[in-house]
Amino acid sequence: MNKNRTSESNSESLNPLQHRTILLGVSGGIAAYKACDLASMLRRAGAEVHAVLTPNAKEFVTPLSLMTMTRNTVHCSQFSFDGQWRPEHIELAKKADLVLIAPATADLLAKLANGICDDLLTTMVLATRAQVMLAPAMNPQMLEHPATQNNLAILQNRYRYEIIPSEIGEVACGDWGAGKMASLETIMATVGARLSSHRTLNGRQLLVTAGGTREPIDPVRFIGNRSSGKMGIAMADAAHARGADVTLVSTVEVDRPYPVILVETAFEMQEAVETEFDNCDALVMTAAVADFRPISVSEQKIKKTESEDIVLELTKNPDILDLLGRVKRKDQIIIGFAAESEALFTHATEKLRRKNLDVIVGNDITVPDIGFGSDDNAVIILTVDGGRENLSRMPKRAIAEHLCDILLGRFTALESPKVTK
């Protein structure tokens, strides 16, 4: 663990909002008038706040008020032109540590539950990888309606958005019941708790690999595989959001706020991983490394006129995980992956032991629509101490969050004093 980060970590644990970027979404209900106070409280707690208003929210609160409270430009339109080729709101969605929508109307919940993005706020929610928190506020009958309850269940259980429950009381229209937006104090406390619990990998050095290696045949051709890199990138994003110092070694080019080392071949990946390994607390090896490469690479493009058949002679690549499993220290954790087309449990167990891993994540590549290239996967997770879990189909980001929890548990276990009999 990097000792230099300790004092920074301490101040962050005392005030989890310090230096965090919060997108404050405001939708069009009467409780929107409270958004100005909320923005001010978040900013005074040290957060960098960017407000995003739906068109209806502007009927209740003005962009000028929110701009004054956040001290930042307020975003209202999907189509505003800010002179940048990359729209600023997508950049904001990417760099946000948390998206907080207060108030969240019944209409907004319905849109989010169905992936509708017909305004700036809903578009940003789809574009972000940050935790989304919603503080619903509406008439009690609207909240009780099965459609709203169904939408809340989808948002909470399927998308893992955090709902800050509304309170019981007299609502603006004079009705009594559940539907009042949670108090600003409750919202502040929930945001603080989420940001501090979300940084539980704070100060950990995480090395993640992603994508499939390409082994050149000649200047234009290569041997590749179907890996999209999505699992590794989801893992790196999840760990980064929880405060880990992430380094991603990837065959896929991505623009991220953490270091990304772009590689192509198994040899390049080996070199990058070996260089970084000593400094890491955990290695998560999601990459699909080619097991074989052509013995020789033609300097010139191989011409089809040269012969009817060509024979490619292949030789074995180094097994990066196997090599690192042999040299890993007791305080390091290695998570490997196993892509199998048969006998998943048997092969994954064998790789877990042979490569001296702490955890292996296995998936059956014959199941259609998941795994390679998909945003979802279904996996088994086996641990060296005999643990076994089956995760049914879910987004790769949700699998990554689960792996972060596993890492957390293992880091804690490594630090607890051993009981001697």
Task: List active site positions.
Answer: 173
- Answer yes or no: are the C-beta atoms of 218 and 21 closer than 8 Å: no
Residue count at the site for ligand CTP (CB under 6 A)? 14
Taking CB under 6 A as the criterion, the residue among 287, 379, 380, 382 binding ligand CTP is 287
> Tokens 């005074």 belong to which residue?
44
For the chain, how big is the Rg over CA atoms in Å? Answer: 25
Taking CB under 6 A as the criterion, the residue among 227, 250, 251, 317 binding ligand CTP is 317
Contacts (Cβ under 8 Å, ≥6 apart) of 138: 29, 103, 105, 106, 148, 166, 171, 179
Burial of residue 82 (CB within 10 Å: 0-12, 13-18, 19+) is exposed
Instruction: Please choose, from the candidates 223, 273, 280, the residue with its C-alpha nearest in 3D space to the C-alpha of residue 250.
Output: 273
Report, in Å, the least distance between residue 217 CB and ligand CTP.
Answer: 18
Taking CB under 6 A as the criterion, the residue among 336, 352, 382, 398 binding ligand CTP is 336
Report, in Å, the least distance between residue 203 CB and ligand CTP.
Answer: 25
Nearer to ligand CTP, 136 or 325 (CB): 325
**Does the protein bind ligand CTP through residue 161 (CB under 6 A)?**
no
Pick out residues in 257-286 that bind ligand CTP (CB under 6 A): 266, 285
Q: 65: left (phi > 0), else alpha (psi -120 to 50), else beta?
A: alpha
- Answer yes or no: are the C-beta atoms of 21 and 96 closer than 8 Å: yes
* CA 287 to mean position of chain CA atoms: 17
**Does the protein bind ligand CTP through residue 337 (CB under 6 A)?**
yes
Report, in Å, the least distance between residue 230 CB and ligand CTP.
Answer: 15
Report, in Å, the least distance between residue 318 CB and ligand CTP.
Answer: 6
Q: How many Å apart are CA 237 and CA 370, to the nearest integer?
A: 20
**Does the protein bind ligand CTP through residue 321 (CB under 6 A)?**
yes
x-or-dash string of contact with ligand CTP, 348-387, rule CB under 6 A: ---x------------------------------------
Taking CB under 6 A as the criterion, the residue among 271, 274, 276, 319 binding ligand CTP is 319
Q: How many Å apart are CA 383 and CA 126, to the nearest integer?
A: 33
Report, in Å, the least distance between residue 204 CB and ligand CTP.
Answer: 20
Residues forming contacts to ligand CTP in the complex (CB under 6 A) are 266, 285, 287, 289, 291, 317, 319-321, 336-339, 351
